[in-house]
Structure 1
């Protein structure tokens, strides 16, 4: 009587491990690159949506809306580094800032630079022109930017040369 043997040999196991290792070696860098691309696109879309929100609030409520780099819960940053987050606020008649919306910190490895410390949208939707550039891991080739024209048009896309 012949017995059926279940299982696999050591050689079969080693071949399987080698093939899996080769596949991982080839596929892992592509997976990391795809993950980074998704992360950057998600962040730049969040910035774009926040700018659109600020413009819409300015038009809807007939008031000036400010967008600035986040320094603390009650203040804006003073430079061009927007990595700590972005804050949208209005200043009421009494001079008190009222935060409308904010984006928290971005990825610690990334660089987020603005053209200045403040972007404003007036009641008619016009703005102080500016841009925000998002550079993943400091790589200019993968950078994305949100650009705000003085007419209030907000666009985003690949930047590719400014970090």
Structure 2
């Protein structure tokens, strides 16, 4: 009886490696787009939930709740920094010693940008926001400006909607 050796030859190995390299070169760029889309959805969802919770807290505790990026305990317009949600009893857009931070939203990814046309959003006990604070958050990725689900709009009555925006393309 003759013994047969089982194994693979060098040609088979090279063909297999070549196929894996070709498939990886096709998949990796699509994977980058998927990660960028996930980052947008994640940040918009965190903002949506934070706004919703701030509105609910203002209603249930009959107090004013402000959402803004804080620098030296004062609201600033740099929305790429960490965003704080805090009780703002005197509506001065400043975190005073007798006011508390409710929660924090992490800063945006360093290559992306988050913009909002106002300094802060303050929910009142009646669930509406302060005068002239309505607007839209716009989350943009400069490498993939065509990605969707990147706009979060807040109306004067405090309602929140997620939409697509073409503003990142400009």
TM-score by length of 2: 0.84
8 A Cα contact 2:114 2:139, kept in partner: yes
Alignment match, 2:58 = 58
What do residues 107-126 of structure 1 show as CA deviations (whole Å, max 9, x unaligned)? 11111111111111111001
| Residue equivalent to 1:36 | 36
Distance 1:141 1:96 in 2: 44
- Equivalent residues in 2 for 1:124-143 (5 A)? 124-127=126-129, 128-137=133-142, 139-142=144-147
Quote the residue 2:160 is aligned against: 154
Partner of 2:87: 90
What is the DSSP-based 3-state SS (H/G/I as helix, E as strand, rest coil) of the residue aligned with 2:30? Answer: helix
Q: CA RMSD in A?
A: 2.0
- Partners of 2:143 and 2:60 lie apart in 1 by 37
Q: Unpaired runs of 5+ in structure 1?
A: none
| Partner Cα separation in structure 2 for residue 7 and residue 142 of structure 1 | 47
Instruction: Name structure 2 gaps, 5 residues minimum.
Output: 91-95
Cα distance change on mapping 1:138 and 1:24 into 2, 3 Å: closer
What TM-score comes out, normalization by structure 1 length?
0.88
What whole-Å deviation, never above 9, does each CA across 1:56-82 have from its counterpart, x for those lacking one?
A: 11111111111112435xx24422x21
Query: CA separation of 1:139/1:29 partners in 2, compared to 1, >3 Å: closer, same or farther?
Result: closer
Instruction: Report the structure, 1 or 2, having the larger strand content.
Output: 1
Q: What displacement does 1:138 show?
A: 5.9
Number of matched pairs: 160
How many angstroms apart in 2 are the aligned matches of 1:58 and 1:49? 14
Alignment pair present for 1:23 and 2:23: yes
SS in 2 for 1:120: strand
Q: Do the aligned partners of residues 35 and 139 (structure 1) sit closer, same or farther apart at CA in structure 2, a change above 3 Å counting?
A: closer
Contact 1:119 1:130 in 2 (8 A): no
